[in-house]
């Protein structure tokens, strides 16, 4: 009887890989992991190649190239060499995919998390009495707002 080695011996499962990728963050928002951002869609083995599917936050977002490179670096550091990173545009990424932990992290970092409707809330004092100063904040993914109550300017994460 031949004791065959399990074919998956060197193929960590999706949950393990997901755990490794927790160190990969949005280059523009280092407190937000790709998982929290909702960018990480699927992790699957295709033969001996690990296929990672990501949903760009918006088409042509320059941060996506960094994210791809960071994903590759994180997995190569774990000894995975055969990688394929696929972008999935359908269904399009939605700010609804940001996890509750991710929203809390954004707020704690001083960036207002995206709102579907209603007012953008000040991450400093929670006031809904805010005004958009500039549609373009420190990066293309952010808009600059000002709180009318505590008078602090803040970034609003506007990818949608
Ligand atoms: Zn405020």
Centre of ligand 1 from the C-alpha of residue 128, in Å? 8
Angle at 68 (CA atoms; ends 62, 72), nearest 5 degrees: 155
At residue 159, the pLDDT reads 60
Tell me: pLDDT of 1 over 70: no
CATH number of 14-96: 3.30.300.130
Centre of ligand 1 from the C-alpha of residue 33, in Å? 26
Q: Express each pLDDT in 8-32 by its tens digit.
A: 457 999 999 999 999 899 887 888 8
Centre of ligand 1 from the C-alpha of residue 126, in Å? 6
Q: Express each pLDDT in 84-140 by its tens digit.
A: 999 998 888 888 899 999 999 999 999 999 888 888 999 999 999 999 999 877 777
Question: What ranges do the domains of the chain cover?
Answer: 14-96, 110-157
Looking at every residue in the chain, the average pLDDT score rounds to: 87
Tell me: pLDDT of 65 over 90: no
25-to-10, 32, 108, 123, 140 alpha-carbon distances in Å: 26, 5, 16, 20, 17
At residue 7, the pLDDT reads 46
Structure tokens at 123: 């991450």
Residue 90, H or E segment:
none
Centre of ligand 1 from the C-alpha of residue 140, in Å? 23
């Amino acid at each position: 009887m031949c004791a065959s080695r399990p074919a998956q011996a060197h193929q960590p499962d999706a949950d393990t890989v997901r755990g490794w990728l927790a160190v990969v963050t949005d280059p523009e928002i280092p407190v937000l992991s790709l998982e929290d951002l909702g960018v990480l869609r699927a992790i699957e083995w295709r033969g001996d190649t690990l296929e990672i599917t990501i949903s760009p936050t918006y088409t042509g977002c320059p941060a996506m190239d960094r994210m791809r490179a960071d994903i590759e670096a994180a997995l190569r550091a774990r000894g995975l060499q055969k990688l394929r990173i696929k972008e999935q545009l359908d269904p399009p990424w939605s700010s609804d995919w940001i996890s509750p932990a991710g929203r809390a992290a954004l707020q704690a970092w001083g960036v207002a998390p995206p709102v579907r409707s209603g007012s953008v809330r000040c991450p400093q004092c929670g006031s809904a009495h805010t005004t958009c100063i500039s549609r373009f904040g420190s990066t293309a993914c952010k808009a600059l707002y000002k709180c009318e109550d505590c008078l602090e300017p803040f970034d609003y994460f506007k990818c949608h």
